[in-house]
Amino acid sequence: MSASPPSASFLRRMLIPLALAQFICSFAGSNMAVMINDISKDLNTTVKGVQSAITIFLLVMAALMIPGGKLTVRWGRKRCFMVGLTVYAVGAVMSALSPGLGVLILGNSILEGVGTAMLIPPVYILTTLLFTEVTSRARAFGAISGMGGIGAAAGPLLGGLITTAISWRAAFIFQALVIGAIVLLSRKIEDPLPADPTSRPDTLGTVLSAVGLVLVVMGIQVAADNLWWTLVMVVAGALVLTWFFVHIRHMERTGREPLLSTSLFRNRTSNFGLVTQNVQWLLLLGTSFVVSAYLQVVRGYNAIQTGVIFTAATAGILLSSLGAERFAKRRPQRTLIIAGFVLTLIGVGILVAMVAAAEGVWAFVPGLFFIGFGCGAMLTPSVNVVQSSFVESQQGEISGLSRAVSNLGSTFGTAIAGTILVAEIVEGNKSYGLSMIVLGVAGLVGLVAALFLPRRLTVARSGAPASP
């Protein structure tokens, strides 16, 4: 760390590009949902094709987030951040110019996914290292997680506005412009820790973790077409992931550095916190895809109409994010996470009940607001619980794992709920209701995990044990 602590004004300046980076990556994960009809018509593809592009983008992020976190140790946090921004920008421009679905997948799903996996871990590592006190760290994570939630919720609105006013291609140009602004704002970011060029990558571990996750998620996605292949791919993925855990344990026992330390999974607080993170993003992105697809394919709404409806969720996330610091001072992190899940589940119930009973646009507003407010209320404390459970030397690993788990939640939300919706899209309300019920069940799992979190958060520090 530097000889003297950074000033408050310096920290605020550094927080701006970090929060913007999380915003644009979350925006990219949800804005394509309102472009389903426009992209499928322009590129001569189908709803399933667009869903595949979205799912692959989220999957690439999830699969490479852990290696991205480890790479920060070898290259340094700032270098990884800047390289990730560059790769992302190239992917965004390629997506804007894509003549077909294949190029769109290469630009958006692959390059933007790889760029995100490189730039997001440094965002959370730098924040953890720079903000050392519980309240200030909660405030910083509140800004970053809040911008992530706003990006995910506002993606349909901004994407709809840009698509309707100009073209769906312009939404990718918008992403590239924001990345350019982040690069300019990031010039004075200082890395609190030196890079370690002697760190060696765990190539086999990287391949095994990525292949295992790909098989599981893609197996879920083909469920609408072939349940037998779903079973085969999910079982194969589980076996590969088992091989991965055996591999990293062997590397530890032989004194080598694995992709992921098994000690990360011995922390009870972090384990339950990771479950809550996964379910939060599953709910947020799953709802975004399901409602967007339903509005456009079943009800025939255009991109701007679909986006405007999502302002309710955006408003909910914005309000809860603005209150993150005040909430953190008054209530334990565990209480905030539990309350967030309760509000989100109420929102899911309202959404299913009101949309089934009413045909008007306003039927979506109350449920989406509760979902947005609930998710926004728990995004920050969940991140804080996980990151604060480990000392500085483990921040690269836990940041990568934390972001991988969160992005895997986004991937599952889109793949599971989206597969149900696409498989039964002609059924209208029936398929929509079933998709939302599945998301609600996942929300109950997250709520149960939150109940097992400790009542008081303890920040792990060097030389002291992590939270139990």
The pLDDT tens digits for 322-335 are: 776 677 677 888 89
Write b or e for each residue in 425-437: b if 16 or more Cβ atoms lie within 10 A of its Cβ, otherwise e.
Answer: beeeeebbbbbbe
In the numeric block, the tokens 């933007």 are attached to 112
**Residue 47 clears pLDDT 90, i.e. is over it:** no
Winning range, highest mean pLDDT, from 2-6, 284-288, 438-442: 438-442
Tokens of 194: 């030196």
83-117: pLDDT as tens digits: 999 999 999 999 999 999 999 999 999 999 999 98
**Which of 377, 382, 381 shows the shortest CA–CA distance to 277?**
382
460 — pLDDT class (breaks 50, 70, 90): low
Positive or negative, the CA dihedral 47, 29, 368, 339 is positive
Q: Cα(first)–Cα(last) distance of the chain, in Å?
A: 26
DSSP characters over 335-372: HHHHHHHHHHHHHHHHHHHHHHH--SGGGGHHHHHHHH
pTM of the model: 0.75
Closest CA to 70 of 196, 164, 250: 196
- Is residue 302 helix, strand or coil? coil
Token pair of 62, please? 């999830």
- 464: confidence class by pLDDT, cuts 50, 70, 90: very low
119-156: per-residue pLDDT in tens?
988 888 888 777 766 667 767 877 787 787 778 777 88
Give the C-alpha separation, 50 to 411, whole Å. 14
SS3 464: coil
Separation CA 247–CA 385 (nearest Å): 28
Please say whether the beta carbons of 36 and 425 come within 8 A. no
DSSP labels for 387-405? Answer: HTTS-GGGHHHHHHHHHHH
286-302: average pLDDT: 80
Residue showing tokens 């408003």: 315
Residue 367 pLDDT > 70:
yes
What is the DSSP code (8-state) at residue 3? S
Measured distance CA(153)–CA(150) in Å, rounded: 5
What lies within 8 Å, CB to CB, of 10 at 6+ separation is none
pLDDT of the residue at 193: 75
Counting beta carbons within 10 angstroms of the beta carbon of residue 57, is it exposed (0 to 12), middle (13 to 18) or buried (19 or more)?
Answer: buried
The DSSP symbol for 222 reads G
User: CA neighbours within 13 Å on the CB side: how many for 330?
Assistant: 5
Report CA-CA distances (Å) from 430 to 129, 405, 421, 427, 445.
48, 30, 9, 6, 23
Residue 36, CA atoms < 13 Å, CB-side half-sphere: 29
High-pLDDT (> 90) share of the chain, %? 25
Q: How many residues does the chain have?
A: 468
